[in-house]
Amino acid sequence: MFSFDVERKDKNTHARTGILKTAHGLVETPAYVIVGTHAEVRTLTPEDLKEANVQMIISNTYHLWRDLGDEGLNDYPGLHEVMRFKGPIMTDSGGFQVFSLGFLYENNMRRGGSKSDENKSLSEKKSLVRVTEAGVYFHPVLPGEDGMEEVVGGEEEMYLDAETSVKIQEQLGADIIVAFDEPTSPAHDYAYTKQAMERTHRWAERSLEAHATDQAMYGVVQGGAFEDLRKESASVIGKMPFDGFAIGSTYGDAYGGTKAKTAQMVEWAIENLPESKPRHLFGVGKMEDILAGVEAGIDTFDCVIPTREARHGRIWTERGHLDIMKSVLPDPEGPLDELCVCPVCTNPDMSRAMLKQMFKRKDMQAGRLATMHNVFFFGNFMARLRQAIKDDQFEHFKKDVLEKLKK
RNA sequence: GCACGGGUGGCAGAGCGGUCAAUUGCAAUAGACUGUAAAUCUAUCGCCUUUAUGGCUACGCAGGUUCGAAUCCUGCCCCGUGCA
């Protein structure tokens, strides 16, 4: 119960619209997949998901595995029931945590990294992750406040591999699951990137082998910013019998990457992926990155930006972002985004100043309203983008969006 | 009136002879956030400047002791609580 049909192709670029069919309904592509790591889109209720026009949600294998444990997973009623979301859901394999709890943690690249952290000795900064050919060991003890240690998810080191990740994803019951992979950083050298890529390929085969349900499964293209590796990875993974393909480790301009490189990596990958299968771009992103991805032929995206930044007071609009906590708020009595028709922006009783006050009061509803807007906004952005492709106006749309962002 | 307790940077509240322009929290200001250890994190937060093992002014007010006081002493002014 999974299919993908390309509906319309842009004449001058690789942009395309399509319909992804899953057991839980359709997704019109290009689409923005909203992140719901722990089986919830933070701050939003199931009713909110509908109001915000969420098409698809992505949850996380690693985090849910930690949250639920083996017993919890055995009795798990499934993500759709837990989230009370009727639409399509995908799960990430836990591969990203190999990178985020490994390389990013080790190199203080999470949350901006503090100066005091930079002075920590190597032993204090060691990775929380150990990668082996067979699978990955996750350290159970994480440093908490004041150097005290905080035990997360039990005392035992946790071991995740391709077979386990697939099994957990089958227990979680998403419509689309993802092969276990090892992302790399722009800082990794050629030799390591190749090694991780080849390991990812072997894990991809094992993931397919272990897969026993009729859930769709995506393979992940790696290979970093090295042209030959990216192309090799896409063609190796692209030949495996996956239902779709995801491109990993591109990062936009986060984690030492660049937007230009990201666009290039995506192109290299897509050249070597089958035309008829859906393509997902992991972890991207911002409007300009989405435009570049769509132009190269990406069908779905997921990113934390709309939800996380909403909780941090950033409101996304066509003109970029409005930071609601700034001391000087333009048009404080106006709606968050005068062009938006989301439930928050069309509520005459809600204003920028009011939302700011709610954030100041630490009212939980502030994060919810901001999330509602951002999710709706990005969804609407994708809808307009789709329409532009259908109207043969993609390039014009892109130019227009980028112009407005510059202002 | 007597007896205690107290007056510290925007607020709360540490410090009780030197390493104090003063811990910490809050507030404020700025920045960050790209397959979520994130309703989070980072930086600044007396004034000045060549931003520094710099200068100046500061811990109710006025004196004093001391090489040195937010810290000790005296007086005064406030504020709490108790007793008359």
Reported ipTM? 0.91
Span A164-179, mean pLDDT? 98
- Partnered with residue A315 across adjacent β-strands are A322
Q: Is the CB of A246 under 7 A from strand B?
A: yes
Residues A365 and A48: their CA atoms lie apart, in Å, by: 12
Residue A327, nucleotide of least CA–C1' distance? B29
Q: Which residues are CB-contacts of A379 (< 8 A; sequence separation ≥ 6)? A: A32, A52, A53, A54, A55
User: Which residue out of A10, A175, A181, A302 is catalytically annotated?
Assistant: A302
| pLDDT tier, A111 (very low <50, low <70, confident <90, very high otherwise) | low
Q: Is the CB of A365 under 7 A from strand B?
A: no
Residue A281, nucleotide of least CA–C1' distance? B35
pLDDT digits (tens, 9 = 90+) for A83-108: 999 999 999 999 999 999 999 888 87
Inter-helix orientation angle A227-238/A190-210, to 10°: 10
* Residues (97-116, chain A) with CB within 7 Å of strand B atoms: 97, 99-101, 105, 110-116
Contact A211, A278 (CB under 8 A): no
Span A162-178, mean pLDDT? 98
A133 or A107: which carries more pLDDT confidence? A133
Sort strands A320-323 and A314-317 into parallel, antiparallel or unpaired: antiparallel
Domain residue extents for chain A = 3-101+153-295, 304-407
Q: Is the CB of A203 under 7 A from strand B?
A: no
Phi and psi torsions of A14, nearest 5°: -95, 5
Q: Which residues are CB-contacts of A377 (< 8 A; sequence separation ≥ 6)? A: A306, A316, A317, A337, A340, A342
Q: Which residues are CB-contacts of A41 (< 8 A; sequence separation ≥ 6)? A: A34, A35, A48, A49, A54, A57, A83, A307, A371, A375
Residue A101, nucleotide of least CA–C1' distance? B37
Residues A158 and A15: their CA atoms lie apart, in Å, by: 41
Span A110-133, mean pLDDT? 61
Q: Is A111 exposed, middle or buried (0-12, 13-18, 19+ CB in 10 A)?
A: exposed
Sign (positive or negative) of CA dihedral A368, A372, A373, A375: positive
Residue A306, nucleotide of least CA–C1' distance? B34
| In this structure, CATH architecture of domain A3-101+153-295 | Alpha-Beta Barrel (3.20)
Per the annotation, the verdict on A92 as an active-site residue is yes
Mean pLDDT over the full length of chain A:
92
User: Which residue out of A92, A161, A181, A243 is catalytically annotated?
Assistant: A92
Inter-helix orientation angle A364-390/A352-360, to 10°: 140
- Of A286, A274, A292, A283, the C-alpha closest to A237 is A274
* Residues (78-97, chain A) with CB within 7 Å of strand B atoms: 92-93, 95-97
| pLDDT tier, A157 (very low <50, low <70, confident <90, very high otherwise) | confident
pLDDT digits (tens, 9 = 90+) for A351-371: 999 999 999 999 999 999 999
Other residues' Cβ atoms within 10 Å of the Cβ of residue A405: 16
Whole-number distance in Å between A8 CA and B16 C1': 78
Residues A178 and A111: their CA atoms lie apart, in Å, by: 26
pLDDT digits (tens, 9 = 90+) for A204-236: 999 999 999 999 999 999 999 999 999 999 999
**Quick one: tokens of A9?**
């192709």
Residue A310, nucleotide of least CA–C1' distance? B39
Contact A377, A317 (CB under 8 A): yes
Q: Helix (H, G, I), strand (E, B), or coil: what is residue A308?
A: helix
pLDDT digits (tens, 9 = 90+) for A4-13: 999 999 999 9
Element (H, E) at A315: strand A314-317
Q: Is the CB of A186 under 7 A from strand B?
A: no
A66-75 residues labelled b (16+ CB within 10 A) or e (exposed): bebeeeebee
Sign (positive or negative) of CA dihedral A69, A70, A71, A72: positive
Supply the pLDDT for residue A150.
Answer: 54
Whole-number distance in Å between A114 CA and B71 C1': 35
Whole-number distance in Å between A327 CA and B65 C1': 50
Whole-number distance in Å between A379 CA and B50 C1': 54
Residue A251, nucleotide of least CA–C1' distance? B34
Q: Is the CB of A300 under 7 A from strand B?
A: no
Residues A107 and A125: their CA atoms lie apart, in Å, by: 7
Q: Is the CB of A284 under 7 A from strand B?
A: yes
Residues A307 and A35: their CA atoms lie apart, in Å, by: 8
Residues A245 and A299: their CA atoms lie apart, in Å, by: 10
Q: Is the CB of A152 under 7 A from strand B?
A: yes
Residues A279 and A62: their CA atoms lie apart, in Å, by: 22
Position A183 pLDDT exceeds 70: yes
pLDDT digits (tens, 9 = 90+) for A40-84: 999 999 999 999 999 999 999 999 999 999 999 999 999 999 999
Q: Within 7 A of a protein CB, which nucleotides of strand B?
A: 27-43
Q: Is the CB of A361 under 7 A from strand B?
A: no
Whole-number distance in Å between A109 CA and B47 C1': 37
